Amino acid sequence: MESSSTDSPFWKIDVLGLCRKGALGAMVIGMSLFGTVVYPDTANAYAQPQVAEVWSTTASSKKQEVYRDALPSAKELSAEELATIQLFQQTTPAVVNITNIVNARKPYSANVFEMPLGQGSGFLWDTKGHIVTNFHVIKGSSSLRVTLIDQQVFPAKVIGADPSRDVAVLQLDAPKEVLERLTPAEINDSSSLFVGQRVYAIGNPFGLDHSLSSGIISGLNRELGGIKNAIQSDCSINPGNSGGPLLNSRGEVIAMNTAIVDPGGKGGFNGIGFAVPMSDVKGLVDQILKFGRVIRPALGVTVAPPQALRQLGLDGVLILDVPKNSPAYKAGMVGISRDSYGRLILGDIITGINGKPVRDQGDLFDVLDSLSVGSTVTIDSLRGGEQKRSFTVTLEERSNTLTFE
């Protein structure tokens, strides 16, 4: 990492300190995966020239309760400090370290060896060994290795993922007795959050496992690429925190840390981090666990570019085409057509779904993503931009390969 030059006194002191603590191995693979707003492919910024003995750590006999020691005396610490310590001790066993492994080949050699591409975080969803993390943490992996709180390392496989929302679910491959001792995270639906609310982040920044930072919610309902309703916080999060939990003061997971604002493109924290709210993550995880993938509902229509309606001074989503046998076709909706003179005739303009206004395509997809396949919805439209119509549509699965012919 460019900001960690070996000429820096801080780097020298830090390395010596880590060597004394036996944590040099963690720093070797600390060039971690972390998505950024302007530089999402940070894995390439943390190339690892050394991979020897990365996996030489033997399994510890410690249990999940490794951090659940007695609290310090109240005389030594404030009530706020005691509460933070207790939160960390209760929640940190649910946080795991995820290492992305790729198969590499030396030049002019047929020998293939495993090389850590980077690291990220994740948290235990249940006692069945399901782990939730970011998709970019596991993207491009040949294999995955998960380190638990007691330093035991186990392989894991990807059950399913939603790249557009940066969510992935893993299955830990561990003995039954290990799974039974796991401590899953407590999930909050994140429906009642406030700017200024205290939050905490636990993860593995730069390979420093189970690091805690705190801050406040700085903003709500941010849009981050394809991620809607992202939570902005000023918790110190860095490469390696991706996929880790953002907690409220009760130790409940309210969001999953995902990205940082990084104008310099160096992977450093600038006081602005984003997290995917649990209200979005939970639905995706439930679908992945049930179906092995995310199933999204659709009307089965092709929509026109938003510029078309702007020129007409109208709000809504203009339907360009309604394929035969699609859900919208069965309900009687129509797209743009031409008259006998070749002039364009506007079809239906979607203005609302189930009473919720639809002003643009973002509103349309937000409403659809909150519904499920098989749901029956009421579509409000303006036929030809003037005539109000209402349609009852039964949603079907959205598919990039599905055609309604």
End-to-end alpha-carbon separation of the chain, Å? 53
| Of 166, 209, 234, 363, catalytic | 166
Note if 242 is an active site residue. Answer: yes
204, burial (CB in 10 Å: exposed 0-12, middle 13-18, buried 19+): buried
The three-class DSSP label of residue 107 is: coil
| Of 136, 211, 218, 234, catalytic | 136
DSSP 108-175: T---EEEEEEEEEEEEE-STT-EEEE-HHHHTT-SEEEEE-TT--EEEEEEEEEEGGGTEEEEEE---
Question: Cα–Cα distance between 332 and 316 in angstroms, integer?
Answer: 18
| Of 141, 218, 242, 326, catalytic | 242
Note if 136 is an active site residue. Answer: yes
Question: Cα–Cα distance between 320 and 307 in angstroms, integer?
Answer: 13
Q: What tokens does 190 get?
A: 């994140």
What backbone phi and psi angles, to 5 degrees, belong to 404? -105, 70
Question: Cα–Cα distance between 86 and 81 in angstroms, integer?
Answer: 9
Residues 6+ apart with CB under 8 A from 92: 67, 149, 202, 210, 212
Note if 399 is an active site residue. Answer: no
- Pick the closest to residue 172 from 127, 115, 117 (CA basis): 127
Q: What tokens does 354 get?
A: 């189930």
What backbone phi and psi angles, to 5 degrees, belong to 252? -95, 145
Residues 6+ apart with CB under 8 A from 19: none
Question: Cα–Cα distance between 248 and 262 in angstroms, integer?
Answer: 25
The three-class DSSP label of residue 218 is: strand
Question: Cα–Cα distance between 90 and 81 in angstroms, integer?
Answer: 14
The set of catalytic residues is 136, 166, 242
